Amino acid sequence: MVSSSLILAALAAVASAAPRACKAPPALILPKVGGDTQLPAPATNLRVKKIALGHGIQNYTCASPDAEPAATGALAVLYDVTSLFPGTRRTGVSQQAWDALPSTVLHGQALPLNVLEGSQFGADASTPFPAPADLAVPDAAAKFLGHHFFDAAGVPVFDLAEAGLQAAVKKDAGVPAPADADKGPLGTGAVAWLKLDDNGKGRSKGLATVFRVVTAGGNPQACGSVGEGTQSVPYATYYWFYG
Ligand SMILES: *[C@@H]1O[C@H](CO)[C@@H](O)[C@H](O)[C@H]1NC(C)=O
């Protein structure tokens, strides 16, 4: 009688001899924040359609030097990093490079926006976005995917023009970024991780839920230090798009 350990050894040999081409694609699993509070999971019928790296600015306004900054919107360019996900055959990057990519881009790349003259991080209001261009960071090239902006009614929109996908969303849930998250070029801290859902107005195309995770920078400066008025704070993050 053949011992079960021999059979196991034989199976192991077959498995290790299997050509690499048979490797299953990695399961795309959202990262967890790290604390006690987690974002709700996506609905079980949804699948990851795209993972984007977003790089841009978060806008705030201060009503007075004593006020709390109020969020007024955001502008970002989206790059398609789906194929860089660790474990993806041929194109996946290391886990370490993946985890660091929002920081790498935030600190290593110029803001992909048309600069508002006289401001440090502001974007031109009438034409904030330059012509579409790909992202080129060492070992992590990514194609231009689209734009994130707030429309005239203040609705957050993700226009994944290159993929024919769009999401017009409202916030469903948010949790603070992990304590060790990248505080950004101004040292203000990383914006919260969010779950955003289709806002039910029939404007989304092929997308139902968006997660903002692994944020770097984007929190406002105190109104006491910047005074009354608007401010734009650079940030980078992953957006996971489900549909
Ligand atoms: C954000 O601020 C910039 C100026 O930095 C402005 O051009 C843009 O229109 C603002 N966008 C939103 C959505 O608030």
**Mean pLDDT, range 69-77, rounded to an integer:** 97
pTM of the model: 0.89
CA distance 239 to 115: 24
Strands (DSSP E) contained in 99-139 are: 135-137
Average pLDDT score, the chain: 91
| pLDDT, position 140 | 85
Which of the listed residues 61, 111, 232 should we mutate to test ligand 1's pocket, taking the one with most ligand atoms within 8 A of CB?
A: 232
Higher pLDDT, 36 or 227: 227
Domain regions of the chain by residue span: 49-242
Ligand 1 pocket: which residues have CB below 6 Å?
59, 72-73, 75, 116, 122-125, 128, 150, 232
| Model confidence pLDDT, tens digit, residues 175-216 | 999 999 999 999 999 999 999 999 999 999 999 999 999 999
CB neighbour burial string for 137-155, b if at least 16 within 10 angstroms, e if fewer: eeebebebbbbbbeeeeee
Length reported for the chain: 243
Among the atoms of ligand 1, which is closest to the Cα of residue 57? 1
**Mean pLDDT, range 121-125, rounded to an integer:** 94
> What's at 106, amino acid-wise?
L
Among the atoms of ligand 1, which is closest to the Cα of residue 126? 7
Lowest mean pLDDT among 8-22, 167-181, 203-217, 221-235: 8-22
CB neighbour burial string for 7-28, b if at least 16 within 10 angstroms, e if fewer: eeeeeeeeeeeeeeeeeeeeee
| pLDDT, position 22 | 61
**Mean pLDDT, range 11-29, rounded to an integer:** 61
Nearest of 57, 111, 77 to residue 221 by alpha carbon? 57
Tokens of 5: 């350990």
Distances (CA, A) of 180 to 183, 193, 215, 236: 8, 13, 11, 15
Higher pLDDT, 86 or 26: 86
27 alpha-carbon distance from chain centroid: 18
Residue 9, pLDDT > 90, answer no
Q: Output DSSP code: residue 109.
A: S
Helix (H, G, I), strand (E, B) or coil at 30: coil
CA distance 221 to 49: 34
* 133 contacts 109 by C-beta, under 8 angstroms: no
Q: What percent of the chain has pLDDT over 70?
A: 91
Site of tokens 């007024």: 72
| pLDDT, position 18 | 46
Higher pLDDT, 1 or 151: 151
Residue 6, pLDDT > 50, answer no
- Reported as a pLDDT band with limits 50, 70 and 90, residue 21 is low
Q: CA 149, 153, 158: angle at the middle one, nearest 5?
A: 25
CA distance 197 to 157: 11
Higher pLDDT, 37 or 4: 37
| pLDDT, position 34 | 75
CA distance 69 to 92: 39
219 alpha-carbon distance from chain centroid: 15
Site of tokens 């993700």: 158
Among the atoms of ligand 1, which is closest to the Cα of residue 149? 13
